[in-house]
Amino acid sequence: MAGVRGSWGSTLGLAYAQAHPERVTELVLRGIFLLRRSEIDWYYNGGAAHIYPDLWESYLAPIPEDERDGDLVAAYHRLLTSSDPAVAQRAASAWTLWEQSTSYLLPKKPGNDDDAGDPRFDLAFASIENHYFVNHGFLDDGQLLADIGRIAHIPGVIVQGRYDVVCPTRSAWDLHRAWPSAALHIVGDAGHASFEPGIKHHLITATDEFADRSA
């Protein structure tokens, strides 16, 4: 089985490959997220606020002021699981908007995202992500790097936007250092989204090359 995964999908792809290396023939990973506490704290607990202070205010808005200096992922969990549907929906919309607004190096034009503003999508998206984050993805911190030896023999390609705020380049670099046989492409004019031209180019090139090898 070949795997092409990005962001949270890169987490799942690595976890699956390490659990079942005999079932994976190659991996193409984009926007690396290793589910380390440092990565969650960066994006959801204030690090990225230094780059997007205006958007960060909207992310903070649903959280009571006396909880804003603590663990915001835990605060969101309480809101997203509230018995009051309006409270849960407001939190879900703010969480999802934060991600959608910071994923592209150049902001998308309004109306280009089919899921933007869909309350059902927002609630599902935020609730699922938050559930895994408050449970540390059911992984030990740093586990995906510690177990990299299980997939050292599997061909891999890592594609990373240089200005990815959601999943900063540090994680892609750490993965590449632990798994040096995997090719790393850092795209100098891209953020997090897979549809940015440079990211898309390297993903297509990698999948085409692996398809040619197996033909």
Q: Which residues are catalytic?
A: 7, 164, 192
What are phi and psi for residue 23, nearest 5 degrees? -100, 0
* CA distances for 154 relative to 16, 149, 208, angstroms: 13, 10, 17
Query: Rounded CA gap, 166 and 159, in Å?
Result: 14
Q: Which residue has the tokens 């994976």?
A: 24
CA distance 84 to 155: 48
Alpha helix positions (H), 61-187: 72-80, 85-102, 119-134, 143-146, 169-178
| Maximum alpha-carbon separation in the chain | 59
- In angstroms, the Cα distances linking 50 to 139, 161, 165 are 28, 19, 11
- CA atoms 157, 161, 166, 168: torsion sign: positive
